[in-house]
Structure 1
Amino acid sequence: MFVYKFDVLESLKEAGYNTARLRKEKLLGENAIQSLRQGEMVGIASLEKICKLLDMQPGNLIKYIEDTEECKH
């Protein structure tokens, strides 16, 4: 499964994009913001937008870790 390497919302905030600005400027939708808060993966379009805002590649944001539960099946 994919997990974030760091707190994406905190990094966006440090870059000047607090949640109010993200909503107001329609940079990220409410669902994406809630997913980030809960540590859940966002959709590819939101991931692209985050990469653009933070000037990063997807591999800088997320990493793959083996889900040991799935491997047991």
Structure 2
Amino acid sequence: MPIKYKIDVIAALKEAGYNTTRIRKEKIMGEAMLQKIRSGQMVSWATLETICGLLNCQPGDLLEYVREAPDNR
């Protein structure tokens, strides 16, 4: 996938005081979204908005476009 996370989002959330237990307990986001972030998968726009709000950042601070090499078959 050409869109990738620039940073370790889970680590950044922990640094900001939001460990995964707190995130689940306060229902900030569900386990499915946390698992997607851990595995490098993209999350919904709503989840991205939540993360940006918690980290006080812009989506561009979290994501980057990485051009994939063309498939030479």
Question: Is the TM value for this pair above 0.5?
Answer: yes
The offset of 1:72, in angstroms, is 2.5
| TM-score normalised according to structure 1 size | 0.90
Identity among equivalent pairs (%): 51
C-alpha distance in structure 2 between counterparts of 1:21 and 1:67, whole Å: 36
Report the residue type matching 1:15 in the other structure. Answer: A
Cα offset for 1:67?
Answer: 2.1
* Alpha-carbon offset, residue 28 of structure 1: 1.1
Find the residue that maps to 1:31 and give its secondary structure.
Answer: helix
Mean alpha-carbon deviation: is it higher for 3-12 or for 33-42? 33-42
SS state at 2:40 partner: coil
Which string of whole-angstrom CA distances, capped at 9 and with x for unpartnered residues, describes residues 8-51 of structure 1?
A: 00000000000001101111111110011111111111000000
Question: Structure 1 counterpart of 2:52, which letter?
Answer: C
Which ranges in structure 1 are unaligned for 5 or more consecutive residues? none
Amino acid in the other structure paired with 1:18: N
User: Could you say which residue in structure 2 is the equivalent of 1:62?
Assistant: 63
Paired residue type of 1:6: I
Runs of at least 4 residues off by over 4 Å? none
Count of residues in Structure 1 that have an aligned counterpart in Structure 2? 71
